């Protein structure tokens, strides 16, 4: 007999008690991300944050929202859910830093077929880890249970972040000119783009995703689920030291280099990139070979080992590279800017 509202609702597939349990489990993870400005009022109807804009003459909010895409299918296959939240944060904050803004807070939206508190905790723990890597506070979010719309063992996650930059310090690429150097920062692998193609190429292998692959030095699942790099902290340090000499920043996400590098370029400037300067990650060569994917399509889909590209004043390129090395990065000179139609040429 159903004798309470929660019993009645649970009969439809929505478990209120599991929701309460999830909130209890995720709260410590959320609180671990708090930074100045987070008012510590998690659980209210609106997430509160006092932005750090001291010293800014004309503060500008820069926002980003994104999800993880079909990379989630790999997490489902592996039943591993503690890194997918890092990807979700990365997809948002790496966009915000391209304008020179410091991400300050983050919210997530998690839609689940069934709320399993232990799994929800692992997902949100990943979100919190991503926020700690980016230095932003996880101040709220939503977990929505969708019985009848999603299988019980599946979920989707999206995020939203806001940062601030002084108007005069916005990085918009307008000052990029012929001769400027292009410096790349290495990716951690596939990041979170192109997974529909990846799953198509490895459709047969996914049934044995835990098998060790010598060419990768790990299992296929471990390689595919490797979390996206978050570039915020080293770039904030770099921007603080070099200011206007960091003229443009491009986050290499969906669309690869062909789509994303031109997004930072002004009209009349063309980027020329030497792909031989890129790290040779086995996963990309394996995808190209196993899927018979032309090189241009690879660079139109994947980051190919370089997850972020900067246009830097030619005279400061060596100093910028040295500063990045001091920050623990391995900067790559991948090309330069020239006069020409806005776009990118890649040689390999």
Strand partners for 306: 186
Mean pLDDT value across residues 153-169: 97
CB atoms within 10 A of CB 175: 14
* Lowest mean pLDDT, pick from 11-15, 31-35, 157-161, 289-293: 11-15
* CA distances for 9 relative to 153, 162, 270, 298, angstroms: 20, 35, 58, 48
The pLDDT > 90 percentage for the chain reads: 81
Q: Contact, 142 vs 115, CB < 8 A?
A: no
pLDDT for res 166 = 97
Alpha-carbon dihedral 287, 293, 296, 302, rounded to 10 degrees: -30
Does the fold of domain 181-347 match that of domain 5-169?
no
Q: Is the pLDDT of residue 277 over 70?
A: yes
- Looking at domain 181-347, which of 3.90.650.10, 3.40.50.1370, 3.40.630.30, 3.40.50.11310 is its CATH number? 3.90.650.10
Cα dist from 135 to 147, 223, 240, 300, whole Å? 35, 26, 16, 31
Instruction: Say if residue 327 is exposed, middle or buried (CB neighbours under 10 Å; 0-12, 13-18, 19+).
Output: middle
| Alpha carbon of residue 177 to chain centroid | 28
Predicted confidence at residue 246, as pLDDT, reads 98
- Stronger pLDDT, 101 or 17, i.e. the higher one: 101
- Taking alpha carbons only, the member of 195, 193, 254 closest to residue 220 is 195
Give the domain ranges of the chain. Answer: 5-169, 181-347
**Which residue in 189, 182, 194, 240 sits closest to 218, CA to CA?**
189
Per DSSP, the three-state class of 111 is strand
- Report the C-alpha gap between 36 and 135 in whole angstroms: 10
Q: Is the pLDDT of residue 96 over 70?
A: yes
Distance CA 212, CA 327 (A): 33
Q: Are 93 and 166 in contact (CB under 8 A)?
A: no
**The residue to which tokens 């032309």 are assigned:** 294
Nearest to 70 by CA among 187, 186, 206: 206
pLDDT at 15: 63
CA–CA distance, 282 with 241 (Å, rounded to integer): 35
Separation between Cα atoms, residue 120 and residue 18, nearest integer Å: 10
Architecture, CATH, for domain 5-169: 2-Layer Sandwich (3.30)
pLDDT (mean) for 271-290: 96
pLDDT tens digit sequence for 34-93: 888 888 766 667 888 888 888 899 999 999 999 999 999 999 999 999 999 999 999 999
Quote the pTM value: 0.92
What is the arithmetic mean of pLDDT over 184-212? 94
Structure tokens belonging to residue 289: 């070979």
**Separation of alpha carbons 19 and 293, rounded Å:** 44
Asked which of 7-16, 52-61, 171-180, 279-288 is least confident by mean pLDDT, the reply is 7-16
């Amino acid at each position: 007999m159903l004798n309470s509202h929660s019993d009645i609702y649970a009969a439809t597939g929505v478990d209120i008690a599991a929701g309460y349990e999830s909130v209890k489990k995720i709260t410590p993870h959320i609180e671990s991300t708090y930074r100045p400005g987070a008012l510590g009022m998690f659980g209210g109807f609106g997430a509160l944050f006092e932005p750090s804009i001291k010293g800014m003459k004309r503060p500008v909010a820069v926002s980003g929202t994104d999800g993880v895409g079909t990379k989630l299918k790999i997490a489902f296959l592996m039943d591993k859910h503690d890194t997918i939240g890092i990807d979700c944060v990365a997809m948002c904050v790496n966009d915000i830093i391209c304008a020179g803004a410091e991400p300050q807070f983050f919210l997530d939206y998690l839609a689940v077929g069934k709320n399993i508190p232990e799994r929800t905790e692992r997902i949100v723990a990943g979100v919190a880890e991503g926020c700690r890597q980016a230095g932003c506070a996880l101040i709220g979010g939503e977990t929505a249970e969708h019985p009848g719309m999603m299988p019980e063992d599946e979920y989707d996650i999206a995020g939203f972040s806001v940062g601030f930059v002084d108007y005069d310090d916005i990085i918009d690429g307008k000052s990029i000119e012929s001769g400027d150097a292009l410096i790349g920062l290495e990716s951690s692998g596939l990041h979170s783009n192109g997974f529909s193609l990846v799953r198509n190429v490895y459709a047969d292998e996914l049934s044995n995703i835990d098998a060790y692959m010598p060419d990768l030095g790990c299992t296929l699942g471990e390689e595919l689920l490797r979390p996206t790099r978050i570039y915020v902290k080293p770039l904030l340090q770099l921007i603080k030291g070099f200011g206007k000499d960091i003229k443009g920043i491009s986050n290499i996400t969906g669309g690869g280099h062909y789509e994303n590098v031109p997004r930072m370029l002004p009209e009349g400037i063309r980027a020329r990139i030497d792909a031989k300067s890129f790290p040779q990650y086995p996963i990309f060569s394996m995808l190209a070979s196993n899927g018979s994917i032309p090189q241009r399509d690879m660079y139109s889909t994947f980051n190919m080992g370089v997850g972020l590209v900067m246009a830097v004043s030619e005279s400061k390129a060596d100093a910028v590279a040295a500063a990045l090395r001091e920050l623990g990065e391995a900067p790559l000179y991948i090309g330069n800017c020239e006069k020409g139609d806005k776009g990118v040429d890649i040689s390999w």
